[in-house]
Amino acid sequence: MPKRIILVRHGESQGNLDTAAYTHIPDHKIPLTEAGRAQARETGAQLRDLISSDCGNSTNTWRVYFYVSPYDRTRSTLREIGKAFDRKRIIGVREECRVREQDFGNFQVAERMKVIKESRERFGRFFFRFPEGESAADVFDRVSNFLESLWRDIDMSRLHKDPSNDLNLVIITHGLTCRVFLMKWFKWTVEQFELLNNPENCEFRVMQLGAGGEYSLAIHHTD
């Protein structure tokens, strides 16, 4: 069993800085800003320190396995985070389409999206489906499918062959996808989901394996 499953939202993107970018750049091609790259490097150092902090002077040979959404901003976040880790610590990197961003349709016209998002607030954020796109419920379905595959891989030791090493899974994804992942895992209700906000750019959530074999959300404070 992985010692930790860590969900990371991508760094600041051009779309976070200026939503007009979505009117002429496909969502999957929206790049990180320079600030976003710096955020990712800082997060990489934080993750490395977190993972190695409980090893002390032991010979613990912890390892990291990365999953990443196929969007440009998540791929770039992974590249910057990966710089914090020795190559021997990284035992796998897998691009996973099922943890991609919610599909909001194709090119996003600003005024139209404003009206659509107002409708979403009235309808309910979980079940509202964007025209030509997805609802959060649709994202829930594909994330659920991903989790089934993930558990099969874990059960069959496809990700990690040496049980003496601590395995840490790091999933670099998007804000809503993080929330939906946690909703599925911890069996949160739709009402609980709709009270949640996205993590900030490059903020992460740590699911820690407990003595009883179950995961809980760990709280970590940074300066």
CB atoms within 10 A of CB 52: 15
CA distance 10 to 182: 17
Q: Could you give the CA distance from residue 202 to residue 190 in angstroms, rounded to a whole number?
A: 25
Task: Flag whether 28 is marked binding.
Answer: no
Give every CB contact of residue 22 below 8 A, 6+ residues apart in sequence: 15, 30, 104, 107, 108, 110, 113
Three-state DSSP at 113 gives helix
Phi (first) and psi of residue 159, to 5 degrees: -90, -25
Q: Known binder of ligand: residue 197?
A: no
**Catalytic annotation on 101?**
yes
The verdict on whether 121 is a catalytic residue reads no
What's the one-letter identity of residue 50? L
Catalytic, out of 101, 134, 160, 174: 101
Asked whether residue 73 is marked as a ligand-binding residue, the answer is yes
Tokens of 30: 């929206």
Does residue 41 have a known ligand-binding role? no
- Which residues are CB-neighbours of 147 under 8 A, at least 6 positions away? 181, 184, 185
Please check whether residue 73 is in contact with residue 201, taking contact to mean a CB–CB distance below 8 angstroms. no
Q: Is 15 a known ligand-binding residue?
A: yes
The answer on whether 194 is annotated among ligand-binding residues is no
> Any known ligand binding at 52?
no
Please tell me whether 98 is known to bind a ligand.
no
| Residue 203 marked in a binding site | no
Distances in Å between the alpha carbon of 114 and those of 20, 118, 119? 12, 6, 9
| Binding site feature residues for substrate | 9-16, 73
| Binding site feature residues | 9-16, 73
Active-site residue list: 10, 101
